[in-house]
Amino acid sequence: MRVLVTGAGGQIGQALIPALLARGDEVLATDIKPLPYPSHTALLDVTDNSALYRIFQEWQPEEVYHLAAFLSARSEEQPQKGWELNFTSNWLVFEACLYFRVRRVFWASSIAAFGPHTPRQHTPQYTIMDPIGLYGIAKLSSERLSEYFATRYGLDVRSIRFPGVIGPGHLPQGGTTDFAVHMFYAALQRGTYTCYLKPETRLPMLYIDDAVQAILRLMGTPTERISIRSAYNIQGLSFSPQELAAQIQAYLPHFTCLYEPDFRQRLAESWPESLEDSLAREDWGWEAQYDLPTLCKAMWEALHQTV
């Protein structure tokens, strides 16, 4: 299958590209910066409609994985650019997919689409959504746009509300859940880490292998089984910075974690602690494979090979 991936240089893109190549797809990986991938690559600013259509015209993709985004903290620092990348680019990609008759398109939503009046425990698929950060506002708007393109135009569009995604090989920049990756690197390199959230702040997380398998399983499901055209809840695991620090101390007893909460604390407190994901389980067989101990073991083994 001919596949187009945008934002391929990001955390999920770097793990998804090898998985797509392994299943035999012909992949065009695009990003705003050069990419060191063993596949076709191209520079692409997804907010440039002319450049986007040129890529579609040249590549003629059958599937599109739209991963380009500004994360939560970065969106607060550059709100106009964040809106263009997190909302406007979705509109442009959806229109291009319709015009070029793409079979299926995936885009990444986020738990940031929820808000302070959302139930925090076992957050339902359908519930109050009143995000306070621009990233979440753009994601919620994109969910409504996604559903509109599906019902109004018949676009086979699919999405997941990702929690924090954890994996080796890529240091995420500009996200509220980034501490969960940065803590591992800081522990190995310096033996200490200063976290920008309070120690007891619990958030849902997902190991990168589970994230990639969720995307592939969702996209491989027959159209008639897809009941959600906004974005699916999925639950992996939930933990706080102090719980992660305790797991790391089992490997590095001398590791210390300090806490200096900043503006990201307010965003984190408006997000769920855990998600109810029965529809993802029923529709396309979602099931996470990693809990906190197995996640830490996988990270530890991977980082010892690279750090």
126 is an active site residue: no
Residue 141's CB is within 10 A of a number of other CB atoms, namely 18
Phi then psi dihedrals of residue 291, to 5 deg: -105, -175
Give the residue carrying structure tokens 């986020």. 110
Tokens at 3, concatenated: 């596949």
Which residue is catalytic, options 37, 135, 193, 232?
Answer: 135
Q: How far apart are the first and last CA of the chain?
A: 35
Distance CA(175)–CA(187), nearest Å, equals 19
* CA–CA distances in Å: residue 290 to residues 120, 194, 205: 21, 26, 10
**Exposed / middle / buried, residue 70 (Cβ in 10 Å: 0-12, 13-18, 19+):** buried
* Catalytic annotation, residues: 135
